[in-house]
Structure 1
Amino acid sequence: MADIFEEEIGMEKMIGLVKSAAGQGNMDLRVLPVPEPAARQVQIEVVATGICGSDLHIYHSDINLAMNLPVVTGHEFSGVVTKVGEGVSKVNIGDRVSGITSFETCGECINCKTGKTNICQHKKLIGYWYDGAFANYIVIPEGNVQKLPDNVSFYEGAVLEPLCCAIEAVIELTRVKPEDIVLVTGPGLIGQLTAQLAQLCGGRVILAGTKNDKARLAKAVEQGIHYTIDLDATDLEEVVMTMTHGQGADIVFECSGAGAAARTGLKLLRKGGQYTQVGLFGKPIEIDFEQIAYKEAKVTGSLGQNWQNWNLAIKLLAHKRIHLQALVSDILPLDRWQEGFQKFKDGSGMKILLEPVSYVEPQR
């Protein structure tokens, strides 16, 4: 970082983590102009921002979402409104906020018109197409701003976006019913939130991970998840079939993005059950797709979030129905982003947050 701060930067400059070109890596910290809000846009000083699995996919250039390089990465954040553009009427300077990631959608496709902006064919996201939140400041449209309740911390606010993603998967797309046997594969943050929501809906949840997920599974126990399974120590199929009298799980949420987990999940799904793919593989996988026909399985994918997910997420968090703060394992300065990415990749952290690097006016 020393070489960055040796540059002559003033208050109009900031530090941002930039994906500069396609290919492995090509990410580094850069001195950038502070973005100014245009009409109906809001400038936010970022307080905390989360590392997402998709950020690692961006690093490795195996993400299947539109990107406009170079771009400041990061899309999970919280902060304080510092400037507003012309025509902004519903957001004030000083508001504590987070924000929806879709900076731009077409507004004309069937998905936009039915509220499914997360799968607009022409959507452009912060951290992908527009500069994102791994920086001191971000600019987003006024309509994307989500105000944080007074009893919600900035750290919780930075985890709201993944909670919204879990809500899309569990509540909007899958509809868990009381006493459903729900198998969740992958005890990372999304898996943890998916498990919490499934229990909140009345499901009996089995959260499965490997021996490398020992700390994550222990965290799930702390959060009251019904059953946690170490796949290296326990026969998951035996557990599921015993609990379901040989029928299989009513619902499977695959949250790990591992091909083996997808194959296992589909195998352990009961006939007529629901399978929802949440994790991203980053590459094609091999799977016995014919099982879907034989089981008459209802299979769907889940990607991102939209306004209605945010509305519910903020209510759940404000009323303490979902626990986010306990899932934050690490808070690192932005200039230790590589350490944070490695901890995420190794599974040695749960939710890893970055705090923007403070910049210092050079001595004259």
Structure 2
Amino acid sequence: MKALQKQRSGNGHLKLVELTEPEIQPDELKIAVAYSGICGSDVKTLQGHYPNSTVPIILGHEFSGVVAAVGSAVTRFSIGDRVTSETTYATCRRCEACMKQAYNLCDERRGIGTQVNGSMAMFVVSREASCHHLPPQMTLAEGALLEPLACCVHAALECTTITAGEVILVTGPGPIGLLMAQVIRSQGATVILSGLARDTHRLRCAHACGIRTTVMTDKQSLAAIVNQCTNGQGVTQLFECSGASVALNEALPLVAKQGRVIQVGLFPTVCEPINAYLILQRELQYCGSRSQKPSAWQTALRLYREHVIQLAPLISTVYSLAEWETAFDTAMKGKGLKILLASNETLAQQEGWLHESTALLSTTNG
């Protein structure tokens, strides 16, 4: 099978190779991959900056597909089912985090696409316990966005609580920021989403998804807009989704005293300059949010079924697996929103995401 493999550590060393199709254990599914999303962690792995990646490794953990084979102990899935999977492949099952089903925090956790082979291939293997059926109305392309949606659910609804009527700031209008804004809005809160002038297309997408207040901080005063929306009190919570300490430090003074900051974006380096003085003086609670756990997937699927989350508008471009270099280049330059790789062009063509004559199509056809 064709697979996109990071072959050794350091910058680059990513190659489309031919590998043997994976075999499955009794409790596993073999999934014919339809789409894989390019995540920020995939880009960092390509660049050699992701700290926990094993090599050689097939990249990809945001994906959807069709069950191609089931293990002898599998009971909930059949060949032909449309599925997606959580990113956790294996944990110790005995630590305190595992006992609470917080598998994302297990020290021995092995993730799909980072420690075990991922989805940027013709086939991927996952445990039955980690897999989820796609709702009938969900396209396979949308299914590839369930993982980032689950991450946002975990951050917004499990790491903290949201009350209707709150005014909440989200920094960074990438796919995570756009999904985060929608999850927060679904709880009855008012969202302010901030970005830069170069993010015009992303902020336009936010408006299409129902986010009314957006700010280009290099052209508008974020402080003035926050003060106007909160009567000068500041936002009750800040969700930092950009992974940029500049954005975080600009937003910290706009959080109300004893407010809460949820760090979702992954910083480019291990140590970043953060205004700890403001956190101390304003008694802010600063909380990290890592990945997701099983409960977040159930909530993510429920929100989609309730029609309060839009996924298709975030898909900007679909490339074939063979066009991975162009796809990663597009993602790294921030030209689109969510970039997908199609492992199975026939499935993609059936959904209207790929023309037979070209492997590039925008969301206008989604």
Q: Fold match, TM over 0.5?
A: yes
Shift of the alpha carbon at 1:243? 2.1
CA RMSD, 1 decimal: 1.3
* Match 2:306 to one of 319, 333, 354: 319
* Match 2:317 to one of 330, 339, 360: 330
* Equivalent residues of 1:329, 1:351 under 8 A apart: yes
Comparing both chains, which one has the higher relative contact order based on Cα–Cα distances under 8 Å and sequence gaps of 6 or more?
1
Q: Supply the distance in 1 between the matched residues of 2:120 and 2:277 (Cα, whole angstroms).
A: 42
> Secondary structure at 2:151's aligned position in 1?
helix
Q: Supply the distance in 1 between the matched residues of 2:165 and 2:34 (Cα, whole angstroms).
A: 40
Q: Supply the distance in 2 between the matched residues of 1:357 and 1:21 (Cα, whole angstroms).
A: 26
Shift of the alpha carbon at 1:282? 2.3
Shift of the alpha carbon at 1:54? 0.8
Q: Supply the distance in 1 between the matched residues of 2:121 and 2:268 (Cα, whole angstroms).
A: 25
2:287 aligned with 1:300 = yes
* Equivalent residues of 1:15, 1:357 under 8 A apart: no
**What residue number does 1:89 align with?**
75
* Equivalent residues of 2:29, 2:128 under 8 A apart: yes
2:248 aligned with 1:248 = no
**What residue number does 1:342 align with?**
329
Q: Supply the distance in 2 between the matched residues of 1:308 and 1:357 (Cα, whole angstroms).
A: 30
2:121 aligned with 1:146 = no
**What residue number does 1:26 align with?**
13
Q: Supply the distance in 2 between the matched residues of 1:195 and 1:90 (Cα, whole angstroms).
A: 33
Q: Supply the distance in 1 between the matched residues of 2:331 and 2:54 (Cα, whole angstroms).
A: 25
> Secondary structure at 2:19's aligned position in 1?
strand
- TM-score for both structures, normalised by structure 1: 0.92
**What residue number does 2:103 align with?**
117
Identity %: 37
* Match 1:100 to one of 79, 86, 93: 86
Q: Supply the distance in 2 between the matched residues of 1:67 and 1:230 (Cα, whole angstroms).
A: 34
* Equivalent residues of 1:83, 1:93 under 8 A apart: yes
**What residue number does 1:75 align with?**
61
> Secondary structure at 1:182's aligned position in 2?
strand
> Secondary structure at 1:30's aligned position in 2?
strand
- Once the two structures are superposed, residues 72-91 of structure 1 have per-residue CA deviations (whole angstroms, 9 ceiling, x without a partner) of 00000000001112211221
Q: Supply the distance in 2 between the matched residues of 1:319 and 1:269 (Cα, whole angstroms).
A: 31
Shift of the alpha carbon at 1:357? 6.0
1:1-364 pair list within 5 angstroms: 14-64=1-51, 66-283=52-269, 284-356=271-343
Shift of the alpha carbon at 1:337? 1.5
- TM-score for both structures, normalised by structure 2: 0.92
> Secondary structure at 1:174's aligned position in 2?
coil
| Counterpart residue type for residue 87 of structure 1 | A
**What residue number does 1:6 align with?**
none
> Secondary structure at 1:250's aligned position in 2?
strand
> Secondary structure at 1:36's aligned position in 2?
coil
Structure 2, unpaired ranges of 5+: 347-366
Structure 1, unpaired ranges of 5+: 1-13, 360-364
* Equivalent residues of 2:29, 2:67 under 8 A apart: yes
- Equivalent pairs, count: 345
> Secondary structure at 1:303's aligned position in 2?
coil
CA change 1:147–1:357 in 2 (3 A) is: closer
